[in-house]
Every structure is written in structure tokens, then in C-alpha cells.
A = this chain, B = another copy of it.
Amino acid sequence: MSRTVPSSVKNPEKIRERRDQIIEAAVQLFREKGFHKTTTREIAKASGLSNGAVYEYVQSKEDILYLVCKRIHQSVEEQLRSRLSEHARGATRLKHAMEAFFGVVELMKNDILLIYQESKSLPREFLREVLRDEEEVTKVFERLLTAGNADGSLALAPESIPLMAQNIVVSGQMWAFRRWAFDGIAFEQFCSVQTEMLMQACGAVDA
């Protein structure tokens, strides 16, 4: 279950409000300079809090990183969920989901890169939790793959489902973490090539 970051402040509303400030400032700074080169003082200043105030809402700098990762995942999941097709089924639904996910990646590429680069600095327990979030996304696709297999619109060896779900996710995320390699490529092209490759790999009867 979601690890909780303790705060010495009681009022939950305040906590939400202040942490929002902290997270927003930290995301920005971590993106620009990375976790290690960002100082807690900078985070305090950028979030409009005093040095001490930050530590009323967080117990360590690593807590902030965790909060940031958590927030990013939350945002990814929200966006993904809101884009998921409700009507389509089977292969079509999967394809829509891929496109939805890729769109989210495009939108949040900075944040996704951030997680790729900095989550390793999390304390073990926090890292575990962040990876669990990551798995959550993968599971969305596992479910779609299973469903497609079931209704015959996909033809995938059942034991390949987990790996294929990983492939889908990574194929999208690489738009973020290999950005440097995609100079000449437009997102739309990227999206369609990846989708096609993946759908084919899933044994989609139609494209």
C-alpha cells in the first residue's frame, strides 16, 4: 500500500496545500538540475516556504523525491484513465489504449524522464512503491491483452503477455528517455510506427 510520508502538521488540508507547493517547486527543479544538485533551500525558496516549513511537511529530502514520483505517477494514471476508450473492445481497444498512453508520454515526457533518472535515489521502501506504480500501468495493458486474447481479436501466447505489456510501456516511454535520439522524428510518426509494431506483435488480426 502507498507508503505515507509523515508530517508534523495536523491539518490535512494544509498538508495538501503545502505539499502541492513543495512538489511543484521540486518537480521543476529536479527536471532542471536533477535531484542531487537541487538543494532543500532552493526547494524551500521556490515553493515559497521557509527552510523550516518544508520540514514540517516532509521528513527528508528523499521524501520530497518520493512525493514527486508519486505525483507524477498519479498524474500519468489519471490522464491515461481519462483517455481510455470506453466503447471499443479487443484489439481496437488495445490500440486506442496505446495511443492514449503514448499521448500521455508525449505530454509528460519531462516527468517520465525524471522518474527514469532519479528514482534510483529513493530509499528502498519508497523505490519499491514507485515500481509498484510503474507496474500498475503495465497491468492496464496486461488486462487489455488478456481481453483481446479472449475475444479472439489478438493471438498472443499467454506466457508472453507480461513481457508484451512491458514492451508496450517501454516503447512509449522511450519517447521520453531517448528523446535525444528522436531528432528528426515527429511524434505522430513515432506513435504510428510503434503502434503498428506492437499490434502486429500481439497478433492483431486486423491492424
Contact = CB atoms under 8 A, between A and B. Distances in A.
* Chain A at the B interface: SS class: helix
A188 interface: no
Contacts of A159: 189
Copies of chain A in the complex:
4
A120 B185 contact: no
Interface stretch (A78-86, A92-100, A167-175): A167-175
Interface in A143-193: 159-160, 162-164, 166-167, 170-171, 174, 177-178, 180-182, 184-185, 189-190, 193
A207 interface: no
A121 B36 contact: yes
A162 B180 contact: no
Given A36-B36, A121-B36, A185-B162, A197 B116 contact: no
A168 to B, nearest CB: 11
A171 B167 contact: yes
Contacts of A117: 117, 120
Contact of A184 (B162, B178, B181): B162
Contacts of A138: 181
A164 B193 contact: yes
Contacts of A174: 166-167, 170
B193 A160 contact: yes
A103 interface: no
Given A163-B189, A200-B200, 19 more contacts: A36-B121, A134-B181, A135-B181, A159-B189, A162-B184, A162-B185, A163-B182, A163-B193, A164-B197, A166-B178, A166-B181, A166-B182, A167-B171, A167-B174, A167-B197, A170-B170, A170-B171, A197-B197, A201-B201
5 closest Cβ contacts across the A-B interface? A197-B201, A36-B36, A117-B120, A170-B174, A160-B193
13 contacts: A34-B120, A36-B121, A117-B120, A134-B181, A138-B181, A163-B185, A164-B193, A164-B197, A166-B181, A170-B170, A170-B174, A170-B178, A197-B197
